[in-house]
Structures are given as C-alpha cells and as structure tokens.
Amino acid sequence: MTHCPHDAIDFAVYCVGTTLYAHMNAIEFRESFRKFLKNDERYKKFIAIINRGREERLLFWQEHAVEQFCDKHALDIPSFDVLQEILCVCELHGNTLEDGKVKVFCGHVDYSPDYKQACAKLFPNSYISAVNGPEEMYGEYSDIRFCKACREAEQQWRDEHA
C-alpha cells in the first residue's frame, strides 16, 4: 500500500506513479476522463464540484459519468475518497492542490462583485485569506487545499486593484 500525503487513508490505487486498478495511474485517469467528457467546461465543473463538495458524494450526473467512464475502461468504480485524491487538481491551472491551513473567522465579509468575479475566473483555489466557519472554531486554523498559481493570481489581482 502506498501512503498519499492528502489523507491518512492508504490506497494502493490512486497516487501519482502507482497503478490505478492495474490500468492507469492518476495522471492518466484524469487525462482520459477529461477526454471522455468531451468538454473542458464539463470537466472543470466536475473538478470544482468534487474539490469544493461538502456533501462527500457525487452528484447524479457525476456518478453517471464516472460509471460510464469506468465501464468503458474496464475499471472498478472508485470511492468518493479515491476520486477526490485522483482529481485533487485546480480546474483552472491543472496543478495538484497543496495542503495548507487558513485562519477561521466568524462573521460576514461582503466581497465586491469585481472580487467575486475575479475569484471565480482567475483564482478559484487560492484560499489566501481566512475562511468563515462556526463560532466555536473562531481563531483556529482549518485545513484547506490550494493552488499556488491561484494564490499568485489573487495576489497580482489585489496589487492591481488595491
């Protein structure tokens, strides 16, 4: 079994460089899955939902796509946790998301419409600033996954729009 850094769970099937169900590694899985979806926007939406999903499950259309893909490639259907690790990449930049921590605050921040639009288009996985959380976590740190290129893009955007 290979231990992957994103989770305390050991899987022998999803780390980059190891075999995924004896057919493909994680990089090959992502690329084949992107091609299978035949639509980069659909692939990006799939990635964004799974990386930000709070439900710990796939949506119906995602389940259907994974089932069809696995049938086509004679793969066992991976669990949600395994899929999260395989697809732990930035939908915009394609970089593997890195583990990090951000401070938790309790309250409401009213971001400008320009910032919200830029965040969605230019740096969706930045998580450069604190995150809103439950009051009991105020001042503590929360685990996040971020993209370095998104953080750089956000910093550049902030510098230009200060």
Residue type, 10: D
State the Cα angle at 144 between 118 and 133, rounded to 5°. Answer: 85
Nearest CA to 153 out of 124, 132, 112 is that of 124
pLDDT average, residue stretch 80-92: 93
Domain ranges of the chain: 2-86, 98-160
- For residue 12, the model assigns a pLDDT of 38
> What proportion of the chain, given as a percentage, has pLDDT over 70?
85
Average pLDDT of the segment spanning 62-83: 92
pLDDT value of position 23: 59
Question: What pLDDT score was predicted for residue 16?
Answer: 41
Whether pLDDT at 13 is above 70: no
Higher pLDDT, 40 or 24: 40
Q: How is residue 25 written in tokens? A: 């590694």
